[in-house]
Amino acid sequence: MLNKYARAFFTRVLTPFAAFLLRRGVSPDAVTLVGTTGVVVGALVFFPRGEFFWGTIVITLFVFSDMVDGNMARQAGISSRWGAFLDSTLDRVADGAIFGGFALWYAGTGNDNVLCAVAIFCLASGQVVSYTKARGESIGLPVAVNGLVERAERLVISLVAAGLAGMHAFGVPGIDVLLPIALWVVAGGSLVTLGQRVVTVRRESAEADAAGGTPGAPGAPGAQGSEAEAT
């Protein structure tokens, strides 16, 4: 849902910066790679050590590259299937690093196996939520549903909570409880979103079959195909 309403706002805000990078000869693919690298380093260096505030600051500095690279491609008129594939693939890498960082903390110094398992579930369910949309679109279905907790919601909820929880190190009492709450919220929301997408694909595939789609044909239900970019 946030992806639907917030992306247009941030696109307008980041357009001048995207134009500046283009004038300096920076490519959209380079922005994608640098942004993902920054997110992965921020998540896997700071989060496993419990430094959630600084980890969130580093990740936030790089996470907007996901919108900057697409903006640059549109301004330069060089949008491509490769760019969409690279962007979507590296989004999964970044998401995995963030929730993997949480899991490593709770598996180690955080000493909470339940929350470690919840963080792993958030990681896995986020990948599956994205896959359901990509796979549905690859077999010719629109997958016309705005899920309860898509990628934007997963990141905002988790990173805001992590950043605030990290302020516990600066003497703010009781605030560290926000991260466990956020992980449970993301886990539950991801499960609901997965259900929404599965139900939508089932309905749309039944409608396509009733309309005369041939299972196994390109673009039809049952066909094998590449996965489109998903959230």
Residue 68 backbone dihedrals phi, psi, to 5 degrees: -65, -45
Active site residue 91: yes
Share of the chain above pLDDT 90, in %: 73
Q: What is the mean pLDDT of residues 174-189?
A: 97
Count of CB atoms within 10 A of residue 230's CB? Answer: 21
pLDDT of residue 64: 80
* pLDDT per position as a tens digit, 1-49: 555 566 677 778 888 988 999 999 999 999 999 999 999 999 999 999 9
Select from 113, 141, 157, 156 the least CA-distant residue to 198: 141
How is residue 27 annotated by DSSP? -
The active-site residue, picked from 66, 69, 87, 91, is 91
Radius of gyration from C-alpha coordinates of the chain? 19
Give ∠ CA 63-61-52 in degrees, rounded to 5: 90
